[in-house]
Amino acid sequence: MPKYDIHFNISERKILLRLVDILAILGMLYLVSSTFAFDYFSVTHENWTWVLVLIIYVTVFGTVFELYDLQKASLQYKVLSNIVLTASITVLFYLLTPFFTPLLPNNRMQIVYFYLAIITALVIWRLIYIQFIASPRFYKKALIIGETSNIETIVDAFKQADPNYKIIGFINCETPLHETVKYQGIPEYDCKDLHHLIAKENVSEIIVASYNAETITAEIYNNLIQLLERGFPIKEYTQAFEDMTYRVPVQFVGKDFYKYFPFSRSNHNKLYLFFHRLFDLLFSFVGLIIGCVFVPFVLLGNLIANKGPLFYYQDRVGKNGKLFSIVKFRTMVVDAEQNGAVWAQKNDVRVTPFGRFLRGSRIDEFPQFLNILKGDMSLIGPRPERPHFVNELSQVIPFYETRHIIRPGLTGWAQVKVRYGSTVEDSLLKLQYDLYYIKHRSFFLDANVIVKTLSTMLFFRGQ
């Protein structure tokens, strides 16, 4: 068996970041209180609520400002700006909620100490994380066994999902042919070198990525059995893909598709569905009230820079394929599709300058709270698509219409993960995220979508 290198999985790194963020901040505040004349924040048995509220604020705002996005957490310039944003909003909210937090101090230097202590703690810890945890010494090495035709897609997906996950090579499981397709991205090894390769490269796990299990040769099968009996980690590709990327790879699901779609019990849980609908109604009322505040400004902008109707209506496909009419603030020129349905594009010329602002800020979506109140939509779910594109995409993408088993959403897992959907390939990617949401639907995942939606709005990433 190989000597394992130290490696933190994606979930472990996210827990590590959150946990040490809190410990670093509390430790720095204790150090500041011991060194300077700082008594605004103290950790005592009587003041436990102060600590709890601070932990909640740091966790929530850290998520909103992407402190726990592993890709960005490995980039020094990006993480520093996110720390400043997180610390600033955390301190602001902490000062504005004195019912749960300490009363505002008479000496304003106390606030400065508090703010600088949080920033300093986060900066020191995150620089340590980038230097050590996110460095090559903590990479996880894996070996793929599968058909050559699938290797490129697999390698690219894993590389994007986890920069600390290194695929050192692959073994072609197909029976040797006279003319085979070669993949130049990573080295190909022979099956007889499997055990030597694992020991030499300190391989941590094997990923079996065979679309058809019958293609795996007897030699590879026997080697895998031996490794399994010795306790070596062997994972099936679709499960490893789903765990790392948070999406379901439908393009690799075969005739045994039912094994990959044990959909969340929440889809039939009456308690979950009741509270889900209750939150839909509550958020809709709040959203419509906020939307009414924006209406005069949108109306003025529409008269000046977006001449034409204020609203636009369009048929979309809802739950169980039922059609409904969606309502939004108009962002495109009048008669934008007089020649037929066209995919929305990045920097679409049909979008007016004012419409681009409405899309980027997501203000154009506020009228859809009416659709949520009517029950056509939910706050969270797959984005509803137009009938023309549903008919087109369901012909070329497997399981596409599966996304209609729940209500479409104002926001969703796919919307916070990817921005544009202007091609069949983009639609396939979004479907993978939509199916992940349906498969793992829960209160926790819903909360995650809401927080990430706030992040999308704050960073102006609307389509």
- Over range 113-122, report the average pLDDT: 94
Determine, yes or no, domain membership for 299: yes
Supply the mean pLDDT for the chain: 85
Asked if 306 and 409 sit in the same domain, the reply is yes
Q: Which of 106, 133, 160 is a domain's end point?
A: 133
178: confidence class by pLDDT, cuts 50, 70, 90? very low
Asked if 292 and 423 sit in the same domain, the reply is yes
Q: Mean pLDDT highest for which of 59-68, 175-184, 334-343? A: 59-68
Residue (of 383, 388, 310, 382) closest to 342 by Cα position: 388
Asked if 155 and 121 sit in the same domain, the reply is no
Lookup: tokens for 228:
């399994």
Asked if 69 and 149 sit in the same domain, the reply is no
H or E element in which residue 171 lies = strand 165-172
Asked if 150 and 102 sit in the same domain, the reply is no
Lookup: tokens for 15:
């827990």
Asked if 102 and 184 sit in the same domain, the reply is no
Asked if 108 and 145 sit in the same domain, the reply is no
CA distance 382 to 436: 10
Q: Residue 91: which residues within 8 A CB-CB, separation 6 or more?
A: 111, 114, 115, 118
Lookup: tokens for 350:
């049909």
- Cβ proximity of 210 and 190 under 8 Å: no
For the beta sheet containing 165-172, the strands, ordered from the edge strand earlier in sequence to the opposite edge, are 188-189, 165-172, 140-146, 205-209, 234-236
| pLDDT of 82 over the 80 cut | yes
| Alpha helix segments (H runs only) across 362-442 | 369-374, 387-396, 413-417, 424-440
pLDDT digits (tens, 9 = 90+) for 132-172: 876 666 778 888 888 776 677 778 888 777 777 888 888 88
- Over range 296-305, report the average pLDDT: 88
| pLDDT of 175 over the 70 cut | no
133 DSSP assignment: I
CB atoms inside a 10 Å sphere around CB 402 = 20
Residue 130: per-residue pLDDT: 86
Work out whether strand 188-189 and strand 205-209 pair parallel, antiparallel, or are unpaired. Answer: unpaired
Count the domains in the chain.
3
- Cβ proximity of 417 and 448 under 8 Å: no
- Over range 367-396, report the average pLDDT: 93
Domain extent for 226: 139-245
In the numeric block, the tokens 């019958």 are attached to 214
- Cβ proximity of 353 and 384 under 8 Å: no
Query: Higher-confidence residue: 285 or 255?
Result: 285
Determine, yes or no, domain membership for 252: no
H or E element in which residue 243 lies = helix 237-245
Residue (of 143, 157, 161) closest to 74 by Cα position: 161
Lookup: tokens for 103:
């009363």
Asked if 345 and 373 sit in the same domain, the reply is yes
| pLDDT of 344 over the 70 cut | no
| Amino acid identity for residue 122 in this structure | L
| pLDDT of 387 over the 80 cut | yes
CA distance 132 to 138: 8
pLDDT digits (tens, 9 = 90+) for 179-192: 555 666 788 888 88
Determine, yes or no, domain membership for 4: no
Determine, yes or no, domain membership for 260: no
Determine, yes or no, domain membership for 256: no
Q: Mean pLDDT highest for which of 61-65, 84-88, 167-171, 349-353? A: 84-88
H or E element in which residue 227 lies = helix 218-229
SS3 142: strand
390: confidence class by pLDDT, cuts 50, 70, 90? very high
9: confidence class by pLDDT, cuts 50, 70, 90? low
Asked if 291 and 414 sit in the same domain, the reply is yes
336: confidence class by pLDDT, cuts 50, 70, 90? low
- Our CA dihedral for 182, 183, 187, 192, rounded to 10 degrees, sits at -50
Instruction: Identify the bridge partners of residue 166 per DSSP, sorted by sequence position.
Output: 141
Asked if 191 and 305 sit in the same domain, the reply is no
Asked if 276 and 195 sit in the same domain, the reply is no
Determine, yes or no, domain membership for 43: yes
SS3 289: helix
Lowest model confidence (mean pLDDT) among 180-184, 406-410, 416-420: 180-184
Q: Which of 245, 274, 294 is a domain's end point?
A: 245
Lookup: tokens for 273:
């569905």
74: confidence class by pLDDT, cuts 50, 70, 90? confident
Lookup: tokens for 326:
């969606």
Asked if 229 and 305 sit in the same domain, the reply is no
Q: Based on C-alpha coordinates, what's the Rg of the chain? A: 26
pLDDT digits (tens, 9 = 90+) for 198-233: 888 888 888 888 766 677 778 888 888 998 888 888
| pLDDT of 24 over the 90 cut | yes
Q: Which of 183, 210, 245 is a domain's end point?
A: 245
Residue 182: per-residue pLDDT: 62
pLDDT digits (tens, 9 = 90+) for 248-282: 888 777 666 777 777 888 888 899 999 999 999 99
| Alpha helix segments (H runs only) across 75-147 | 76-95, 109-128
- Cβ proximity of 175 and 217 under 8 Å: yes
Determine, yes or no, domain membership for 463: no
Query: Higher-confidence residue: 344 or 450?
Result: 450
Lowest model confidence (mean pLDDT) among 8-17, 109-118, 190-199, 411-420: 8-17
- Over range 395-412, report the average pLDDT: 92
- Over range 125-136, report the average pLDDT: 82
Query: Higher-confidence residue: 7 or 407?
Result: 407
Q: What is the CATH number of the domain that holds 207?
A: 3.40.50.10700
Q: Mean pLDDT highest for which of 23-27, 252-256, 327-331? A: 23-27
Lookup: tokens for 239:
């499960």
| pLDDT of 405 over the 90 cut | yes
CA distance 461 to 438: 24
Lowest model confidence (mean pLDDT) among 143-147, 323-327, 432-436: 143-147
CA distance 383 to 403: 9
Determine, yes or no, domain membership for 1: no
Q: What pTM, to 2 d.p., does this model score?
A: 0.79
- Over range 100-128, report the average pLDDT: 90
